[in-house]
Amino acid sequence: MAKKIEAGLLIIAIFLVVVAVSGCVTSPIKVVVNYPGSWNGTITTEDETRTIEGTGEQTIDLGMYVGSLKVDVEKKDKDSNETLSIQLMRGDETINSANSSVSGGGELDDAILSVYLTG
């Protein structure tokens, strides 16, 4: 009888470990900004607002994040016709994206992306 209880507890323990590990294997969140010129903006979470800036394509690592996230990036050279794009990535998967192009042609000065990330 004791052997059956031990075997049962072992099976339950293994099951709990598998469930815990599978729930924790989430890839980090990254923001990829791509624009041939200079750009700047903000990444806003529930806890903070972070200022970002750069030129060309840059990747900003946000680590393991769950919750509300807003990314707002604008061109420094406002009269440019080049497209500014932002992508929100989890590992190699694009979660969401936005760009400065307008349907029907034309360009805006900024791109804004707002999402709620779950684990």
Q: Is residue 61 situated within a structural domain? A: yes
Q: Is residue 50 situated within a structural domain? A: yes
Quickly list H helices, the chain. 2-24
State pLDDT tens for residues 16-64: 444 444 444 579 999 999 999 999 999 999 999 999 999 999 999 999 9
- Tell me the range of 7-11, 21-25, 75-79 where mean pLDDT is highest: 75-79
Burial of 14 (C-beta count, 10 Å sphere; 0-12/13-18/19+): exposed
Residue with token string 């360009």: 107
DSSP state of 105: S
Q: Is residue 13 situated within a structural domain? A: no
What's the pLDDT at 70?
Answer: 96
Counting the structural domains of the chain, the total is: 1
Q: Is residue 55 situated within a structural domain? A: yes
Domain extent at residue 82: 27-117
Residue 95 sits in a domain whose CATH number is 2.60.60
pTM of the full structure: 0.76
